[in-house]
Amino acid sequence: MAFDFFRRNKEMAPDLGGAPEVKRSAAGRVAALAAGGRVGWTARDAGSLTRAGFLGNPVGFRCVKMIAEAAAALPLVLDADGGRHHVHPVLALLATPNPGQGRAELLEALFGQILLTGNGYVEAVAGDDGLPVELHVLRSDRMSVVPGADGWPVGYDYTVGAKSHRFGATGPRPQVCHLKSFHPQDDHYGLSPLHAAATAVDVHNAATRWSKALLDNAARPSGAIIYKGPEGQGMTTDQYDRLVSEMEAHHQGARNAGRPMLLEGGLDWKPMGFSPSDMEFQQTKEAAAREIALAFGVPPMLLGIPGDATFANYQEAHRAFYRLTVLPLASRVAAGVSDWLSLYAEAVLELRPDLDQVPALAAEREALWRRVGAAAFLTDVEKRRMLGLATEADHG
């Protein structure tokens, strides 16, 4: 295929006797095109961060899924009235919280909302006796806190489209339980790990788009078409626009990979090799992935990110993941939910993860049981309390 860029413009070309035409600088065009390749930073609202960091980023998606699924799968034990209960109305409520969700689905949604937005909201649907018969996780991006005159929340507005419903936050039995992560600069809302990792998410997404663009252009860096026209004579606007359109139609994209280029009219093609910045792009992407994993508390080794040798083996990284990330989050959420449900039960309830049933911590728990069991200077009551077990004294 021949590029006859000048055929339509011979009548208007100054060197051919046509009327002069105002030309635009090729350098200015290149600068304008280069400006369009800058990273577009994501807005810091919950919806934009969720779309960019969870729906559109595999590292963020995997981090949230790993933490939420692991925390939701932890077995919970209930201590009430000084003893451990295996059958209790609260445990039955958590087992079947609502007709559309089971225990794992409800808790995974709750943990996911906290990880993505820093806030988790649980609604209690009360029965005729005033006790909750259903639990529902509300979307954090639809909830807004209504502060009172003293600054403390007096309600929560849940808005869907043009409709809004207000939940009361005062009284002996609040209808909504608000769980939030620590935020040093906000009194009403929590800080999401995704917010801290937002810059790394944008860099990772930009690097992914860069790689996709290279594949669309036959995985080769672009070159330069050099115009060798008369001395001091540049290309006209129409000639430049037609050159760009011909390149896009016949020489860009995977389907045009390897197609030979036939140039005429003083045009010459000069291929360009990868610059050092091109070669470091993959390293930049991996560094951004590690920063995202760091913000969520997931060892990069568990995500398959190369170049991380912090842990000696996968088992050690897995144990650190549970000990440093999953258990603190699950314990904090379980404590908040049990304190909230205690208001309905009018009794002290304590929900907490059962560490003896966590496979990743089996070696640690076995060593603890062995040390406590071999301590002859401890009484049986002291041993049970060290292991987190109820005693007869607790019942009395």
| Residues 98 and 239 both lie in one domain | no
Q: Mark which of 243, 272, 301 sits at the end of a domain.
A: 272
pLDDT at position 22, please? 41
| Residues 58 and 109 both lie in one domain | yes
Q: Is the pLDDT at 101 greater than 80, yes or no?
A: yes
Instruction: Provide the domain limits for residue 249.
Output: 1-38+222-272
Decide which of 244 and 275 is more confident. Answer: 244
CB 170 within 8 A of CB 154: yes
Number of folded domains that form the chain: 3
3-state secondary structure of 129: coil
| Residues 292 and 158 both lie in one domain | yes
Which contacts qualify for 146-150: CB closer than 8 Å, 24 or more apart?
Answer: 147/188
Range with the poorest average pLDDT among 39-48, 178-187, 190-199: 39-48
Q: Mark which of 232, 256, 272 sits at the end of a domain.
A: 272
**Alpha carbon 346 to chain centroid, angstroms:** 38
Average pLDDT over residues 130-152: 91
Q: Is the pLDDT at 287 greater than 80, yes or no?
A: yes
> What is the spatial distance between Cα 21 and Cα 11, in angstroms, rounded to a whole number?
11
3-state secondary structure of 120: strand
Q: Is the pLDDT at 144 greater than 80, yes or no?
A: yes
pLDDT at position 342, please? 92
Buried b (16+ CB within 10 A) or exposed e, 141-170: bbbebeeeeeeebebbebeeeeeeeebebe
Whole-number mean pLDDT of the chain? 78
Decide which of 13 and 366 is more confident. Answer: 366
pLDDT at position 28, please? 33
CB 299 within 8 A of CB 321: yes
> What is the spatial distance between Cα 346 and Cα 80, in angstroms, rounded to a whole number?
11
Question: Which of 94-98, 166-170, 362-366, 375-379 reaches the highest mean pLDDT?
Answer: 94-98
| Residues 185 and 310 both lie in one domain | yes
Decide which of 360 and 221 is more confident. Answer: 360
Q: Mark which of 272, 290, 310 sits at the end of a domain.
A: 272
| Residues 90 and 26 both lie in one domain | no
| Residues 146 and 208 both lie in one domain | yes
| Residues 198 and 259 both lie in one domain | no
Average pLDDT over residues 314-329: 90
Tokens coding 28: 């200015």
Tokens coding 13: 């070309």
pLDDT at position 60, please? 95
| Residues 57 and 24 both lie in one domain | no
Decide which of 138 and 217 is more confident. Answer: 138
| Residues 306 and 178 both lie in one domain | yes
**Alpha carbon 90 to chain centroid, angstroms:** 31
Range with the poorest average pLDDT among 90-94, 100-104, 106-110, 303-307: 303-307
pLDDT at position 43, please? 76
| Residues 241 and 173 both lie in one domain | no
| Residues 68 and 185 both lie in one domain | yes
**pTM confidence score:** 0.73
Decide which of 165 and 259 is more confident. Answer: 165
Q: Is the pLDDT at 338 greater than 90, yes or no?
A: yes
**Structure confidence at residue 29 as a pLDDT band (50, 70, 90):** very low
pLDDT at position 14, please? 43
Average pLDDT over residues 166-177: 88
Helix axes 327-345, 58-72, angle to 10 degrees: 50
pLDDT at position 221, please? 52
Range with the poorest average pLDDT among 29-33, 157-161, 200-204, 226-230: 29-33
| Residues 147 and 186 both lie in one domain | yes
